[in-house]
Amino acid sequence: MNFSVRSARHLAGMLAGMVLLAGGFLGCQRTPPTPPSAAAARVNGKEIPRAEVEKYMRVRTYNQPQKPTGDAEQALRLDVLRELILGEIMAQKAEQLKLQPTEAQVDAEVRNLKGNVSEAEFKMSLDQRGLTDADFRRDISRNLAVQKLVENQVGSKAQVTEADTQRFYEDNKNNFLVQEPQYRVGVIVVAESAPPGAAPPAAGFVQGAARIRAAAGRLQGGEDFGQVARQLSEDPQTAQAGGDLGYQPAAALDRLGPVPKAALLKMKVGEVSPVLEIAGGYLIVKLSGKREPGQLTLENPEVKQAVQQELQTRRQELLRAAFTEQLHNEARVENFLAQEILAEAPKAK
């Protein structure tokens, strides 16, 4: 993991994942039907404009140095449209069941996803992809509605029993054999200077040294490490998880750098390091847990919780996939783009 990476990379990944969400906000725009020539598909009578497909084609290919052409471009266009269709189907069902989020819920999720990205940086990233703030908010709103829909329809069916837990543990017992000491590590990462395109200090940007001092001060004042990490850490891979890296063998601590590794190996569980300087920025680490070599059992609350979480995640993914397939089967879908690609293909001799 590169701990000097910018929060802008988190935003880029977040925007790249907006395609599936985008189909949802089409369902709430009750505009007059467009002719089929301007529509890429129709879902239960609601058309998905070709312009919308092209917009999210740009989002998907923004960071690709070489854009796809020919058949590869058309294959990607079909994939984007497929996601928009699914998003529209899900959004229509959520609207039918009145599962839309409140404005306050949308505001909270927007703040959560933006994280530490400045307004100037956020706007620049949207502009570069041809998106607007309104696009972003509508996508987030529909994503929250889809989450509510899935929870409403399949959430109660994803329960994990004690028998499920025991069976999974026995089937995967070797995975719970600790061969060497493992360290559960939390991190707060701050870069030393402003990212490209960020607002200057006079407009409110806090330089890295001041930001990491603020984080250290809050921790010394007794604030929760995970909460401070979510609000101040600039590492996109860990910030939303409260800085948690999970359990790591000693060898894996090398990627943190020699100074953080040496600090962790001397710390007791629950301790937090002072501010540490790393390449390109600053780091605070916490030793949240330690495992000694040996066989982990279900009597360990962490192990049992991890097994149940894994089982529940798998079951939720399976049920969601089955639910979306069922909705797709029930929907009236006309994919005009697919029809055109087939019609334009050379006929076999």
**pLDDT band at residue 5, thresholds of 50, 70 and 90?**
very low
Q: Is the pLDDT of residue 32 over 80?
A: no
Q: What is the CATH number of the domain that holds 326?
A: 1.10.4030.10
**309-331: pLDDT as tens digits:** 999 999 999 999 999 999 999 99
Check whether residue 147 and residue 72 sit in a common domain. yes
| Run of H or E including 349 | none
**Percent residues over pLDDT 70 in the chain:** 84
Residue 247 maps to a domain: yes
Q: Are residues 11 and 113 in the same domain?
A: yes
**What is the arithmetic mean of pLDDT over 45-54?**
94
d(CA 80, CA 217): 46
Q: Which candidate, 46, 69, 76, places its Cα nearest to that of 337? A: 76
pLDDT of residue 8: 42
Average model confidence (pLDDT) for the chain?
A: 85
Q: Tell whether 144 and 31 lie within a shared domain.
A: yes
Q: Is the pLDDT of residue 24 over 70?
A: no
Q: Is 251 part of any domain?
A: yes
In this structure, the answer to whether residues 87 and 212 fall within a common structural domain is: no
Measured distance CA(185)–CA(188) in Å, rounded: 10
> Which residue range is the domain that position 122 belongs to?
7-157+319-344
Is residue 194 over pLDDT 70?
no
Say how far apart CA 214 and CA 204 lie, in whole Å.
15
pLDDT interval class at 63 (50, 70, 90): confident
Following DSSP, what letter does each residue of 6-45 receive, concatenated? -HHHHHHHHHHTTHHHHHHHHTT--PPPPPGGGEEEEETT
* Confidence grade of residue 237 (pLDDT, cut at 50, 70, 90): confident
Taking the mean position of all CA atoms in its chain, how far away is CA 178? 30
Residue 261: give its domain's CATH number: 3.10.50.40
pLDDT in tens, 157-168: 889 999 999 999
> Is 314 within a domain?
no
- Are 21 and 139 a contacting pair, CB within 8 Å? yes
Residue 3 pLDDT greater than 50, yes or no: no
Which residues lie below 8 Å from residue 332, measured CB to CB, with a gap of 6+? 42, 43, 44, 45
325 with 272, same domain: the answer is no
How far is Cα 48 from Cα 80, in angstroms, rounded to an integer? 12
Q: What pLDDT is recorded for position 101?
A: 93
Domain annotation covers residue 205 = yes
Q: Note the pLDDT of residue 155.
A: 86
Residues 151, 185: one domain?
no
Under a CB-based contact definition with an 8 Å cutoff, are residues 103 and 109 in contact?
A: no
Domain co-membership, 112 together with 15: yes
Higher-confidence residue of 14 and 177: namely 177
Among 76-90, 133-147, 320-334, the minimum mean pLDDT is found in: 133-147
Long-range contacts, 130-133 (Cβ 8 Å, 24+) = 130/55, 130/58, 130/59, 131/15, 131/18, 131/55, 131/59
Among 112, 279, 304, smallest CA distance to 189 is for: 279
Among the listed residues 179, 178, 183, the one whose alpha carbon sits nearest the alpha carbon of residue 265: 183
Could you tell me if 22 and 153 lie in one domain?
Answer: yes
List the single range of 19-28, 89-98, 146-155, 245-254 with lowest mean pLDDT.
19-28
Residues 333 and 282 grouped into a single domain: no
Residue 61 resides in a domain = yes
| In a shared domain, residues 133 and 252 | no
pLDDT of 15 reads: 52
Structure tokens of 220?
A: 């010394």
SS3 125: helix
Based on the fold, state whether residues 38 and 95 are members of the same structural domain.
Answer: yes
Q: Which band of pLDDT confidence, cut at 50, 70 and 90, is reported for residue 129?
A: confident
- Given a contact cutoff of 8 angstroms between Cβ atoms, the answer to whether 190 and 232 are in contact is yes
Q: Is residue 311 part of a domain?
A: no
| 162 found inside a domain | no
pLDDT category of residue 26 using cuts at 50, 70 and 90: very low
Which pLDDT score is estimated for 217? 94
Q: What is the number of domains present in the chain?
A: 2
Percent of the chain with pLDDT over 90: 63
Domain assignment of residue 300, yes or no: no
Q: What is the pLDDT of residues 251-299, one digit of tens each?
A: 899 999 999 999 999 999 999 999 999 888 899 999 999 999 999 999 9
Instruction: Please indicate, yes or no, whether residues 18 and 116 belong to a single structural domain of this protein.
Output: yes
